[in-house]
Amino acid sequence: MDATKLSLAPMMEYTDRHFRHLVRLVSKKTLLYTEMVAANALCHERRNQVEEYRTNNALATEEEVQENYSDQYLQRYLKQGKVDPLEGASVLQLGGSDPKQMYEAAEVVMDMEKRGWCDYTAINLNCGCPSPKVAGKGCFGAALMDEPKLVEELTRALHDGTSGTMPITVKCRIGTDSQEAFTKAGYAQADEEVEYRRLCEFIETIAGGGIVTDFQVHARIAVLQKSFSPADNRKVPPLKYNLVRRLVHDYPELSFSINGGVESVVQAQQEFEACPDLAGVMIGRAWAADPWSFAMTDRVLYNDSHAPKNRLEVLQAYGKHADAEEMNGDPTKIRRFIIKAITHLFTGESNSKRYRIALDQIAGIPKKMKAEGKTIEGQPPVSELILNAAYEHLSEETLLRSPEESYERKLHEEMNRLGSIDGMNTRSNAVAQWQTQRKEEEEELETA
């Protein structure tokens, strides 16, 4: 709870252990969230590995089976970095709708903790993802907003699966369109009091179980009856921060963090000014689009003196993580993920595009050499390649710019944007560019 003032929002394919390590280098205080992990995937993987060990070791006792089954695939979902700074305050987000599966998934997490692969400080249940793959076919995520009693059962299963040793939290929306199909005009005319009562019923049902006291609320409804993409669900339904602020006022015994639309430390401060008892602000896409813009987070939001010296220092520290990951893994499989985490560290700077192109080439080296029948043995470590690319394409001024100077520049940009007409309803340039690039990457994957 000491870390909830600013949280890194869970983002599929982004908030993996590599990106979380980068965030921890930028801020030692920010509460980290993993990308959502499907409970059924954890259960399926462990069952397969347990059965395989039993088959190959017919005389093994059940205790030996549980202690020695292979956890290689489970590491893919749950492993945290092993290089300082460690993650510290970090939340594992799970998705699913079967209480038995949730109980088993929680047991898997505890197994992996005993084996030394992870040490999460809380487990979060995803009740907010509107993706058709999740809320539609999967029948979980935001679809759970319409089944509060089931959510209470799921949180109890997680609590019991961890033997009550870990806090269980819930990330949700302010509602769904299940009562009436969404249209902009119709939603604008809908009775907000009815909407708020439904949200309160959801919160009260879950909190009434005595397990959950901490909620992260995306201040938009989830549109599930139309073929809305996750991007549409982030842009089309309007933000209603006022409903989250009402929850803070009406349920002082509970903790609420606000999510959706906040893109900077400045905006986070504004939310605390508007609602002093708000537990926290959760930011996702802005962290991914421009992580360095949060380098003053600890000083501004937590009254802590910590701040990285400059981005060269961050790259040097991140290189230790990168080398350790490649030493203990397969570079042909993980290098692209390692590199992806630092791709936007120099957003908005001169020659940042050239630097990103250089990183992309570095990311592809292991696979390219494997295709040629070669290995990367004898090649420079990835940390050296990253730094060389930075020295080649970025100026000394850029590499050594202090977080204070960068913050002042960001503050000026932010004030200009928020002071413009409709400024509050527009994305920052960094986030807009990041979203365009992400869409292009997804389209490339679909056609590959």
| Domain residue ranges in the chain | 36-260, 311-400
428 pLDDT above the threshold of 80: no
The answer to whether the CB of 94 falls within 8 A of the CB of 172 is no
104 burial level (CB within 10 Å; 0-12, 13-18, 19+): buried
Give 215 or 406, the one with higher predicted confidence.
215
Q: Is 34:169 a contact under the CB 8 Å cutoff?
A: no
pLDDT winner (highest mean) among 127-141, 168-182, 311-325, 419-433: 311-325
Name the residue among 139, 408, 364, 166 with its Cα closest to residue 265: 408
Q: What's the rounded mean pLDDT across residues 70-95?
A: 96
Q: To the nearest whole number, what is the mean pLDDT of the chain?
A: 91
CB 337 within 8 A of CB 382: no
pLDDT interval class at 223 (50, 70, 90): very high
- Overall average pLDDT of the 317-342 stretch: 96
Backbone angles phi, psi at 351, to 5 degrees: 70, 15
pLDDT at 425 over 60: no
Distances 371 to 178, 336, 363, 383 between C-alpha atoms, Å:
50, 16, 14, 23
pLDDT, greater one: 284 or 417:
284
How far apart CA 343 and CA 400 sit, in angstroms, is 18
Asked if the model's pLDDT at residue 229 lies above 90, the reply is: no
Of 293, 271, 310, 298, nearest to 430 (Cα)? Answer: 293
Over pLDDT 70: what percentage of the chain?
Answer: 92
Question: Of these residues, 118, 127, 129, 275, which one is catalytic?
Answer: 129
Tell me the per-residue pLDDT of 240-283, one tens digit each, with 9 for 90 and over.
999 999 999 999 999 999 999 999 999 999 999 999 999 999 99
Of the listed ranges 77-81, 366-370, 424-428, 437-441, the one predicted with least confidence: 424-428
Averaged pLDDT, 316-322 = 98
Q: Give whole-number Cα distances, 12 to 38, 48, 94, 155, 385, in Å.
A: 11, 25, 12, 22, 27
Phi-psi region of 88 (alpha: psi -120 to 50; beta: other; left: phi over 0): left
Q: pLDDT for 115-133, tens place per residue?
A: 999 999 999 999 999 887 7
- Is 129 one of the annotated active-site residues of the chain? yes
For 14-25, write each residue's pLDDT tens digit: 999 999 999 999
| Buried/exposed 341-370: b ≥16 CB within 10 Å, e otherwise | bbbbbbbbbeebeebbebbeebbebbeebe
Domain 36-260 has CATH 3.40.50.300: no
pLDDT at 447 over 80: no
Run of H or E residues at 361: helix 352-371
**Nearest Cα residue to 184 out of 129, 127, 232, 245:** 232
pLDDT at 424 over 50: no
Q: Looking at 138-142, 194-198, 375-379, which range is the least confident one?
A: 138-142
Enumerate the H helices of 162-259 as residue ranges: 184-189, 192-207, 230-235, 241-250
Report field, pTM of the whole predicted structure over 0.85: yes
What confidence tier does 421 reach under pLDDT thresholds 50, 70, 90?
very low
Q: Which residue has the higher pLDDT, 399 or 232?
A: 399
Say what the pLDDT of residue 180 is. 85
